[in-house]
């Protein structure tokens, strides 16, 4: 086991700190008495990283460290724990008080109490702030709270060390309870509260609880396990878990009698405000999930069965005139969409790549203009809304921005438009659709959901698009004719992937051309890295980096997004003396942010001040370009698609990733003139026909795929199941039947 060093240290410089994860990197000076225990770097100090509260520069701490060796940077230290003990010397107490007060206020304290232990006086309530010039009750209470917080934090660290709990596990809970002492009390009552923290599941919390002596049959333990098992299903997109399977899975984890789990489950599900619900005696779900699906079903069916046809407008006459004016023709299935729109409030327009969904939306906008209806264009992500805006020539917004919501519990702003078009609806999870429907206050609004049901479903809970179009409740226009397939390129291969046809044969090798817009280069795994670098450099000769999208099925590994981005950054935006940079260490490795880099935000971030009194919200999936790095203010300035000059603090920079390469999941809803798909045999587990199809259909002009015959063909053979465990489909059918018989 590595030796744990206990040192007296002083933070000298904050190199990196993330408030969300509580991960930090600081340089420290080491007290003279402890210098012999460590290896000092060339600056005469040490650097340590780990989970910690934000530290006061210049304050005295006691740290517990272990040494490690980094292949690039040499020796460093991992912070195991750190605490700021209350100083006992006058010099130390002066420094401590200066963390709260001005230098003059500190001097005034020592004029009133020369050579005394001021902190002890305050602790014992023997300090009279009236004796101190310029120190009122408010500032006195601030000092007192600082002392109490330090004592409580010291107590918390002792408690954490007892149970081998990292500070990062409880950092967010400290903010929730405001007091470390109260947090200790609550965790001792119910250590399973730790599962509220992202990254801490039942198993980890249970190990800690066992150390604390929590009984195996504790209701807190059983309830936490039940929620965990349901959450595991939610993580797969399912809304519920079979009751029998739940009991079996819970028993494996709990190692107690099934009857005790059953009894606790029934008790847990009782009452109108219970966290868990049992549906039809055999399915177990979280109340918030069931109620979201129930609301969506009730809202959609109510709107649908209250539909009123648009009077006095001849759909066929409009379409005939439009076709003649633009020298085009429409198929019968395309025409049927416009008739459905004129008749019903709720419509679904479903079509594969190349079937003309975008084309029909453009015509629909002309039709609504003729009728005199105003339209709101929406999409689930920033990239999808940008694409929607580009081909319609009208403003489009994300659903979140249109509603002005941040969390799923927020009250949405109202949308009063006559027509709402929601593109890329397969990406919508049940909570997002619920928020949308809550935010539409026009009871006669016509809502059109548009999507491709072969693309990837939402990564969140539910199967909204599939459930709705298979419910037999709403009008569904399904476009099946793929135009331009005969060209033999991107669309032809995408169609074959969707239909399960083999694209490659075992006797093929090297560079293969398909039509005028697609290349599949068959390369051995060891040549893939050189291959994508070669093609990327070639594409940079003809296109801007912004117009080239590289896709991988995964984030990790040599052919994952993280490593690929590092290589592509060097090609698209190499370092130079006139480009500012900021480098950080992350869990994935070292990342350098450079002026000119294309980046993507991966977590919702709110109230970013872009000018005095003006704030913006940046959402998951928003893309932009770094235009400046201000090391003095510790911010990276990014021009996002919808908002320029957004400052992202160094503390929040982990929410920003490079976007030269992204996962296929992240690319859904967007498109690019040039797309390069990497589908290696190391990706076999992730690859399926839906994933390949989604990646393939991002290409607007050219597509390059680097793969092997076996990787491609085995992926095509695997079709992701379109079914998920949800309530929406049956709720729609029940409500539809009731409405039809009423």
Supply 504's token pair: 């490659």
Structure-model confidence comparison of residues 20 and 523, the more confident one: 523
CA distances from 210 to 169, 177, 184, 214, 243 (A): 17, 23, 16, 6, 26
For the chain, the average pLDDT equals: 90
Supply 300's token pair: 């959609």
Supply 520's token pair: 């599949």
Phi, psi of 677 (to 5 degrees): -105, 130
Last residue of a domain, one of 268, 291, 314: 291
pLDDT for position 149: 78
User: DSSP readout, 159-217?
Assistant: HHHHTT--HHHHHHHHHHHS-HHHHHHHHHH-GGGGGGSTT--HHHHHHHHHHTT--TT
pLDDT for position 484: 61
Q: Does one domain contain both 562 and 614? A: yes
In a domain, 723, yes or no: no
Q: Does one domain contain both 530 and 448? A: no
Distance CA 637, CA 626 (A): 6
In a domain, 737, yes or no: no
E strands in 412-503? 419-422, 446-451, 476-479
pLDDT score of 71 more than 70: no
CB count in 10 Å sphere of residue 131: 12
pLDDT score of 73 more than 70: no
Structure-model confidence comparison of residues 169 and 407, the more confident one: 169
pLDDT score of 212 more than 70: yes
Q: Does one domain contain both 311 and 448? A: yes
Average pLDDT (11-26) is: 84
Q: Which residues contact 444 (CB under 8 A, 6 or more apart)?
A: 306, 308, 345, 418
Structure-model confidence comparison of residues 71 and 32, the more confident one: 32
H or E stretch covering 27 = strand 23-30
Q: Which residues contact 434 (CB under 8 A, 6 or more apart)?
A: 292, 295, 296, 299, 408
Supply 16's token pair: 């990196």
Backbone dihedral region of 202: left (phi > 0), alpha (psi from -120 to 50 degrees) or beta? alpha
What percent of the chain lies above the pLDDT cut of 90?
Answer: 59
Q: Does one domain contain both 466 and 595? A: no
CATH of the domain at 28: 2.40.50.120
Give the model's confidence band at 123: pLDDT under 50 very low, under 70 low, under 90 confident, else very high: confident
CB count in 10 Å sphere of residue 609: 11
Average pLDDT (60-71) is: 85
pLDDT score of 292 more than 90: yes
Distance CA 342, CA 345 (A): 8
pLDDT score of 20 more than 80: no
In a domain, 398, yes or no: yes
Contact 383, 511 (CB under 8 A): no
pLDDT score of 49 more than 70: yes
Last residue of a domain, one of 291, 322, 351: 291
CATH of the domain at 275: 1.10.10.2220
Per-residue model confidence as pLDDT tens digits over 178-193: 678 888 888 888 999 8
Q: Does one domain contain both 227 and 329? A: no
Q: Which residues contact 273 (CB under 8 A, 6 or more apart)?
A: 287
Distance CA 117, CA 119 (A): 6
Which residue from 573, 595, 585, 593 is spatially nearest to 639, judged by alpha carbons? 595
Which residue from 606, 668, 661, 235 is spatially nearest to 428, judged by alpha carbons? 668
Per-residue model confidence as pLDDT tens digits over 409-447: 666 778 999 999 999 999 999 999 999 999 999 999 999
CA distances from 7 to 55, 281, 495, 564 (A): 16, 59, 65, 40
User: What's the domain range around 99?
Assistant: 90-162
pLDDT for position 224: 94
**Residue 326: strand, helix, or coil:** helix
CATH of the domain at 340: 3.40.50.300
Supply 331's token pair: 């198929």
Q: Which residues contact 396 (CB under 8 A, 6 or more apart)?
A: 377, 378, 379, 385, 386, 388, 389, 423
pLDDT score of 151 more than 70: yes
pLDDT for position 669: 86
Structure-model confidence comparison of residues 133 and 296, the more confident one: 296
HSE (side-chain half, CA atoms, 13 Å) at 374: 5
User: DSSP readout, 558-602?
Assistant: TTSHHHHHHHHHHHHS---TTS-EEEEE-SS-EEEEETT-EEEE-
Give the model's confidence band at 72: pLDDT under 50 very low, under 70 low, under 90 confident, else very high: low
pLDDT for position 740: 80
H or E stretch covering 511 = strand 510-514
In a domain, 340, yes or no: yes
pLDDT for position 533: 97
Contact 655, 605 (CB under 8 A): yes
Q: Does one domain contain both 519 and 590? A: yes
300 exposure class (CB count in 10 Å sphere: 0-12, 13-18, 19+): buried
pLDDT for position 372: 95
In a domain, 333, yes or no: yes
pLDDT score of 175 more than 80: no
In a domain, 545, yes or no: yes
In a domain, 551, yes or no: yes
Choice among 10-24, 202-216, 234-248, 655-669 with the minimum mean pLDDT: 10-24
Q: Does one domain contain both 441 and 455? A: yes
Choice among 91-100, 357-366, 407-416 with the minimum mean pLDDT: 407-416
Give the model's confidence band at 517: pLDDT under 50 very low, under 70 low, under 90 confident, else very high: very high
Q: Does one domain contain both 280 and 348? A: no
Question: How is residue 426 annotated by DSSP?
Answer: G
pLDDT for position 642: 73
Q: Which residue has the tokens 């009123």?
A: 308
pLDDT for position 587: 76
pLDDT for position 410: 63
Structure-model confidence comparison of residues 408 and 376, the more confident one: 376
Structure-model confidence comparison of residues 153 and 697, the more confident one: 697
Distance CA 343, CA 309 (A): 4
Choice among 120-129, 243-252, 335-344, 520-529 with the minimum mean pLDDT: 120-129
pLDDT score of 19 more than 80: no
Give the model's confidence band at 624: pLDDT under 50 very low, under 70 low, under 90 confident, else very high: very high
In a domain, 375, yes or no: yes
Choice among 143-152, 374-383, 524-533, 556-565 with the minimum mean pLDDT: 143-152
Average pLDDT (644-657) is: 88
609, β-bridge pairs: 615
Q: Does one domain contain both 281 and 212? A: yes
Q: Structural domain tally of the chain?
A: 5
Give the model's confidence band at 408: pLDDT under 50 very low, under 70 low, under 90 confident, else very high: low
Last residue of a domain, one of 49, 65, 83: 83
Give the model's confidence band at 86: pLDDT under 50 very low, under 70 low, under 90 confident, else very high: confident
Q: Does one domain contain both 130 and 192? A: no
Question: How is residue 500 annotated by DSSP?
Answer: T
What percent of the chain lies above the pLDDT cut of 70?
Answer: 97
Q: Does one domain contain both 205 and 102? A: no
Average pLDDT (42-46) is: 91
In the chain, % helix, strand, coil (3-state, to 5) comes to: 40, 25, 35
Does pTM top 0.95 for this prediction? Answer: no
Q: Does one domain contain both 577 and 448? A: no
pLDDT for position 155: 81
518-522 and 510-514 strand pairing: antiparallel
Q: ∠ CA 542-545-550 to the nearest 5 degrees?
A: 105
Supply 474's token pair: 């709403």
pLDDT for position 486: 60
């Amino acid at each position: 086991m590595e030796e744990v060093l206990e040192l007296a240290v002083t933070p000298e410089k904050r190199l990196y700190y993330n408030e969300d994860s509580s991960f930090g990197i600081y340089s420290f000076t080491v007290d003279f008495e402890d210098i012999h225990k460590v290896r000092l770097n060339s600056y005469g100090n040490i650097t340590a990283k780990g989970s910690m509260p934000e530290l006061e520069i210049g304050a005295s701490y006691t740290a517990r460290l272990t040494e490690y060796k980094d292949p690039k940077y040499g020796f460093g230290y991992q912070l195991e724990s750190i605490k700021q003990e209350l100083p006992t010397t006058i010099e130390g107490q002066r420094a401590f008080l200066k963390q709260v007060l001005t230098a003059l206020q500190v001097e005034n304290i020592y004029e009133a109490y020369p050579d005394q232990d001021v902190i002890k006086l305050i602790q014992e309530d023997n300090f009279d702030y009236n004796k101190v010039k310029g120190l009122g009750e408010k500032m006195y209470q601030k000092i007192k709270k600082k002392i109490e917080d330090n004592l409580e934090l010291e107590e918390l660290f002792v408690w954490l060390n007892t149970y081998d709990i990292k500070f990062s596990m409880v950092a967010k809970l400290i903010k929730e309870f405001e007091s470390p002492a109260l947090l200790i009390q609550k965790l001792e009552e119910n250590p399973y509260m730790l599962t509220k923290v992202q990254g801490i599941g039942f198993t980890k919390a249970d190990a800690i609880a066992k150390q604390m002596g929590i009984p195996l049959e504790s209701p807190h333990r059983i309830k936490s396990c039940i929620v965990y098992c349901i959450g595991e299903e939610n993580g797969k997109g399912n809304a519920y878990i079979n009751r029998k399977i739940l009991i079996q899975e819970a028993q494996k984890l709990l190692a107690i009698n099934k009857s005790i789990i059953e009894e606790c489950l029934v008790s847990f599900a009782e009452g109108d405000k219970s966290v868990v619900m049992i549906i039809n005696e055999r399915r177990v779900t979280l109340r918030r999930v069931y109620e979201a699906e129930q609301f969506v079903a009730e809202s959609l069916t109510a709107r649908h069965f209250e539909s009123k046809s648009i009077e006095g407008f001849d759909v066929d006459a409009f379409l005939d005139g439009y076709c003649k004016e633009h020298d085009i023709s429409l198929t019968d299935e395309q025409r049927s969409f416009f008739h459905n729109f004129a008749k019903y409030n709720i419509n679904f327009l479903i079509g594969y790549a190349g079937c003309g969904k975008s084309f029909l939306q453009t015509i629909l906008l002309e039709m609504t203009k003729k009728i005199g209806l105003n339209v709101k264009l929406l999409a689930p992500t920033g990239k999808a809304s940008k694409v929607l805006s580009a081909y319609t020539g009208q403003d489009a917004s994300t659903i979140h921005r249109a509603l002005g919501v941040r969390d799923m519990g927020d009250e949405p702003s109202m949308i009063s438009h006559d027509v709402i078009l929601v593109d890329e609806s397969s990406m919508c999870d049940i909570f997002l659709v619920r928020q949308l429907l809550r935010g539409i206050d026009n009871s006669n609004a016509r809502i059109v959901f548009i999507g491709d049901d072969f693309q990837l479903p939402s990564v969140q809970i539910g199967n909204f698009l599939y459930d709705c179009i298979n419910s037999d409740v709403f009008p569904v226009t399904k476009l099946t004719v793929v135009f331009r397939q005969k060209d033999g390129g991107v669309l032809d291969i995408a169609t074959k992937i969707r239909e399960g046809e083999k694209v490659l044969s075992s006797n093929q090798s090297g560079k293969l051309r398909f039509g005028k817009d697609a290349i599949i280069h068959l390369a051995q795994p060891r040549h893939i890295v050189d291959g994508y670098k070669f093609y990327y450099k070639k594409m940079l000769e003809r296109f801007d980096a912004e117009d080239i999208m590289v896709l991988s099925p995964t984030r990790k590994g040599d052919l994952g997004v993280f490593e690929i981005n590092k290589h592509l950054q060097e090609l698209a935006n190499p370092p130079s003396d006139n480009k500012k940079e900021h480098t950080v260490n992350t869990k994935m490795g070292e990342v350098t942010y450079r002026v000119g880099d294309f980046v993507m935000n991966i977590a919702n971030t709110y109230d970013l001040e872009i000018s005095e009194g003006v704030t913006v919200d940046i959402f998951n999936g928003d893309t932009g370009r770094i235009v400046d790095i201000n090391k003095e203010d510790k911010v990276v300035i990014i021009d996002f698609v919808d908002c320029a000059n957004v400052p992202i603090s160094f503390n929040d920079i982990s929410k920003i990733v490079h976007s030269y390469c992204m996962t296929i999941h992240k690319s859904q809803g967007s498109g690019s003139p040039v797309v390069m798909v990497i589908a290696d045999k190391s990706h076999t587990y992730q690859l399926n026909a839906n994933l390949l199809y989604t990646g393939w259909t991002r290409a607007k002009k050219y597509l390059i795929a680097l793969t092997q015959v076996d990787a491609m063909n085995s992926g095509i053979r695997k079709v992701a199941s379109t079914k998920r465990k949800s309530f929406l489909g049956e709720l729609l059918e029940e409500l539809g039947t009731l409405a039809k018989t009423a």
